[in-house]
Amino acid sequence: MRTILIISLAVFLCLHSFAQKSSKAFHSYMDVGLLSGKSGAAFHFNTDHGMRFNDLFIGAGVGYDTYKFRSLPIFFSGKLLLGRHDDIFLFGKLGYNLPFNENPEPDNIYQKDHSMKGGIYTSTGLGFRTALWKAVKLNLSGGFSYKESGYSIVNEYPCLTPPCPQDKYSDKFSFGRLLLAVGLEF
pLDDT of amino acid 22? 52
Rounded-to-integer distance, Cα 171 and Cα 175, Å:
13
Rounded-to-integer distance, Cα 175 and Cα 122, Å:
11
pLDDT of amino acid 7? 46
Q: What is the mean pLDDT of residues 18-34?
A: 78
Q: What band does 107 get if pLDDT is binned at 50, 70 and 90?
A: confident
Residue 178 belongs to some domain of the structure: yes
Rounded-to-integer distance, Cα 36 and Cα 144, Å:
10
Residue 90 belongs to some domain of the structure: yes
Query: Mean pLDDT score of the chain, rounded to an integer?
Result: 85
Nearest 5 degrees, angle CA 23-CA 26-CA 29? Answer: 120
Between 4 and 77, residue with greater pLDDT: 77
Residue 127 belongs to some domain of the structure: yes
Q: How many domains does the chain fold into? A: 1
pLDDT digits (tens, 9 = 90+) for 135-178: 899 999 999 999 998 888 888 888 888 888 888 888 888 999 99
Residue 128 belongs to some domain of the structure: yes
The pTM of the full predicted model, rounded to 2 decimals, is 0.78
Residue 22 belongs to some domain of the structure: no
Domain that holds residue 83: 27-105+118-147+174-185
Q: Please list, in sequence order, all residues whose beta carbon lies within 8 angstroms of the beta carbon of residue 71, skipping any fewer than 6 positions away.
A: 64, 65, 97, 98, 99, 100, 118, 147, 149
Q: How many CB atoms lie within 10 A of CB 92?
A: 21
